[in-house]
Amino acid sequence: MFMKGKKGVVLGIANKKSIAYGIAKACKEQGAELAITYLNERFQKKLAPIAKELGCEERLYPCDVTKPEEIEALKASLEKDFGKIDFIVHSIAFAPKEGLSGRFVDISKDAFSVAMEISVYSLIEVTQKLKPILSENSSVLTLSYYGGVKYIPNYNLMGVAKAALEMSVKYLAEDLGKDGIRVNAISAGPIKTLAAAGIGDFGFMLKWNAAHSPLKKNVTIDEVGNSGMYLLSDLSSAVTGEIHYVDNGFNIMGMPAVKFDENGKPTIAWNGE
């Protein structure tokens, strides 16, 4: 079991469709001991059965990353229950609705600030606050998306936030490497999660990715979960500062594959509805 003896915290599980749940499940199956966090009382009730399934019903902690005191309280709880921890999973992102629709030029400063604070700075702050209880050879993992590298319709402000998140991963990796702490990100293909529900035309995005990725399918939370487990385990002991794509190869495509009609005219290979 690749995670036997490892202890860690997962921030950002919303339900069983969450990528963070897939990662937590994979780590649990490989022997890890877990703690998970919830945003508010509504999510506490939703996550209680998941915490029980993951064997951490006594380690279900509140953590709203916009409240520094709750991050400090999380550190105290983890230190009390675990002493040291070996990994952190950061699966937290948010942008106001106005940041995911309309013209990008019209985004407000308030929306920009909220997205950057929750989606980007929270990784830095959580790592900063929990660093004193991170063990030697520990690992921090966050979640990104291809929209932080290339333009994706309806992703808008979140794309800018993911770009900043990916660079934060690289700077944190260099800074914390001297302490034996690795920092990486997974850039997963589109998955039907609670967060994805806020992205316009998401169903079309799923069909497009399945049609044009080399493996001709969409990724699952189990597949992302296994990759996350690898990056959190000693299997990846020489890997840091990486943005690891788990998207069936979609990120390598420079243009869609083409086919030709009976007149020799090229058309996009597409079997979507």
Say which amino acid occupies 202: F
Q: Is 267 helix (H, G, I), strand (E, B) or coil?
A: strand
Say which amino acid occupies 25: K
Choose, from 21, 38, 61, 145, the residue flagged as catalytic: 145
What DSSP designation does 82 have?
H
Please name the residue that has the structure tokens 């493996």. 215
Distances (CA, A) of 245 to 23, 119, 230: 15, 19, 13
Tokens of 161: 């936030």
Q: How far apart, in whole angstroms, are the C-alpha atoms of residue 102 and residue 251?
A: 25
Bridge partners, residue 18, by sequence:
none
What DSSP designation does 5 have?
T
38 included as an active-site residue: no
- Cβ atoms within 10 Å of 189's Cβ, excluding its own: 25
Say which amino acid occupies 234: D
Bridge partners, residue 83, by sequence:
none
Burial string for 205-216 (b: 16+ CB within 10 Å, else e) reads: bbbbbbbbbeee
Q: How far apart, in whole angstroms, are the C-alpha atoms of residue 41 and residue 238?
A: 39
What DSSP designation does 241 have?
S
Q: How far apart, in whole angstroms, are the C-alpha atoms of residue 52 and residue 55?
A: 5
155 included as an active-site residue: yes
Choose, from 21, 38, 155, 245, the residue flagged as catalytic: 155
Catalytic residues: 145, 155
